[in-house]
Chains A and B, each alone.
Chain A
Amino acid sequence: MPDDRWQPKLDQYLDSELSAEEMRGMDAHLRECPSCSGDALRRMQLKRATRLAGQRYTPSAEFRRRIERQVAAKRRPARGWLWMPALAMAAVVLLVATVTVGRWYERSRSEQLLAELADIHVADLASPTPVDVVSTDRHTVKPWFQGKLPFTFDLPELQATGYTLVGGRVAYLQHEPGAHLLYDVGAHHISVFIFRDRPEIERAFPARDSTSRMLSFHVESWAKGGLRYFVFGDASPEAIQGLSRLLKQAGA
């Protein structure tokens, strides 16, 4: 049975509208309540489907030019210097707005990518077969991806590190294939995603290395050798960083 205290707040949780304390409380509850976590997963799928379906209409190039001309004509001064202070003020405000919007777009793009990865991570863990190649041996898992991905990668030796390789499968981020590797540390599952570092991803993550949080998951991300790595999970930040270090040392 869903919990009447937490279940009504699921939408606010997925919309990141709960307080930090409530977010932590919901995280803890979802780990213990299969009914609410299943409900949260379905709501997240609906939210994601709405986001993808909602990005439907694109303005034509001709219409874009028409509006640009309209904006340019309005900006043109009619009486020379009399308009200068107002124009200067408008330019400053537009600049601030453009920078703000630009930053928002950047953040929005990265949040969108991380939300997609969160969906894959949660959906795969909820699946009866979270991985397609099941092996703790990196020399079994890595070759399994041959012919399935347009790139290759190195995996670290994990002996005496506390991490265990569970296996892997092919994942898709914005329709591009990549590797999804699953690791265990203690009772936690950590996903490692490896994709080609395309321009859209570079724009979303302009910094070479980044640390962030998405729906209370900890995320480490970096780019190297034309590949983009994401280490993703509900383990502690130290555990996520530890696995990231091992991957980087492995030539990642």
Chain B
Amino acid sequence: MPLFDSLYNFAHWLTQNREEAEDLVQETYAKALKGFGSFQPGTNFRAWIFRILRNTFLTSRTGLAATRTVPLETEDEEQTVAVSRETPESILLEQAGQQQVQAALEQVPVIFREVLLLCDVEEMSYQEIADTLGVPIGTVMSRLYRARKALRTALQEQDKMRETKHA
């Protein structure tokens, strides 16, 4: 089945729960099969099915709760050209293991986590991400900028906690 593993991984990251992820993927396939007529051959199949999954998630109880807590009022295209002056070297990424990065990803709000997953894990282009999320490319860039910043902050906080523990 095309994209089954990717859809499940994405669903599990969104829901943070195995059973909910399975329900989400199952519903996605049911909707995709039912609405196959709405898929236009020649358009992006991957963005189409990821969009179904993501929209299904957003209307679920977990999705509604997760997105209600994220402030988007500052979201605009100007964010993307803001010059970043944070000091990512303090993150010591090379010392952070995979589990630390996974824990940091869990800390990132779902609306930023999803854009990181689509860009860095699924390796979608900005246009594909825009199609999946139903937002302009400028918003994709803005969210990516904020998502990476949030991930760095989460890693830095973990680093500080580790240092405190060892002190």
Size of chain A's interface in residues, with CB distance under 8 A? 50
Instruction: Answer yes or no: A57 CB below 8 A from chain B CBs.
Output: yes
Verify A54–B121 contact, CB threshold 8 A.
Answer: yes
* Given the contacts A15-B119, A53-B102, A93-B36, A59 and B22 also touching, CB distance less than 8 Å: yes
- Per the 8 Å Cβ criterion, residues 45-97 of B in contact with A are 45-46, 80-84, 88-89, 91, 93-94, 96
CB-based contact A52/B101 at 8 Å: yes
Does B93 lie within 8 Å of A45, measured CB to CB?
yes
Task: Give the interface SS of chain A, mostly helix, strand, loop or mixed.
Answer: helix
- Inside 8 A of B4's CB, which chain A residues have their CB? 59, 64, 67
* B93 and A56 contact, CB distance less than 8 A: no
Taking CB atoms and an 8 Å cut-off, the chain A residues in 199-231 that contact chain B are none
User: In the complex, which residue of chain B has the Cβ closest to the Cβ of A67?
Assistant: B29
B13–A47 touching, CB < 8 Å = no
Please determine whether A50 and B1 come into contact, CB atoms closer than 8 angstroms.
no
Q: Which residue of A lies closest to B87 (CB)?
A: A42
Question: Which residues of B in the span 127-145 have a Cβ within 8 Å of any Cβ on A?
Answer: 141, 144-145
Count B interface residues, CB 8 Å. 52
Which residues of chain A have C-beta atoms less than 8 A from B33's C-beta? 71, 74-75
CA distance A66 to B56 in the complex (A): 19
B25 touches A67 (CB 8 A): yes
A71-B84 in contact given A49-B96, A54-B116 (Cβ < 8 Å):
no
Q: Is A17 an interface residue when CB atoms closer than 8 A count as contact?
A: yes
The answer on a CB contact under 8 Å between A11 and B144 is: yes
The contact string, 1 if C-beta is below 8 Å from chain B, for chain A 139-166, is 0000000000000000000000000000
- B120 interface residue per 8 A CB criterion: yes
For the A-B complex, the count of residue pairs with Cβ-Cβ distances under 8 Å equals 125
Complex: chain B residue closest to A70, CB-CB: B29
Cβ-defined partner of A59 (8 Å) among B8, B34, B98: B8
Per-residue B-contact encoding for A88-107, CB less than 8 Å = 1, 0 else: 00101110111011101000
A4 at the interface (CB under 8 A from B): yes
Given the complex, which residues of A lie within 8 Å of B151, measured CB to CB?
Answer: 46, 50
CA distance A142 to B117 in the complex (A): 41
Known interface pairs A43-B88, A98-B2, A111-B123. Does A53 touch B98 (Cβ–Cβ under 8 Å)? yes
Instruction: Please indicate which of the listed interface residues B21, B93, B101, B102 has the most CB atoms of chain A within 10 Å of its own CB.
Output: B101
A8 at the interface (CB under 8 A from B): yes
Beta-carbon contacts under 8 Å, A15-70 to B: 15-17, 38-39, 42-43, 45-47, 49-59, 63-64, 66-68, 70
B81 shortest CB reach to chain A, Å? 5
Binding site for A on B (CB under 8 A): 1-5, 8-9, 12-13, 18, 21-22, 25-26, 29-30, 33-34, 36, 39, 41, 45-46, 80-84, 88-89, 91, 93-94, 96, 98, 101-102, 105, 116-117, 119-121, 123, 125-126, 141, 144-145, 148, 151-152
> Mind listing 30 A-B residue pairs with CB under 8 Å?
A11-B141, A11-B145, A12-B141, A15-B119, A15-B144, A38-B89, A45-B93, A46-B91, A49-B98, A50-B105, A50-B116, A50-B120, A51-B121, A51-B123, A52-B101, A54-B105, A54-B120, A55-B121, A56-B102, A58-B9, A59-B25, A63-B8, A64-B1, A67-B25, A68-B1, A90-B36, A93-B39, A96-B41, A101-B2, A104-B46
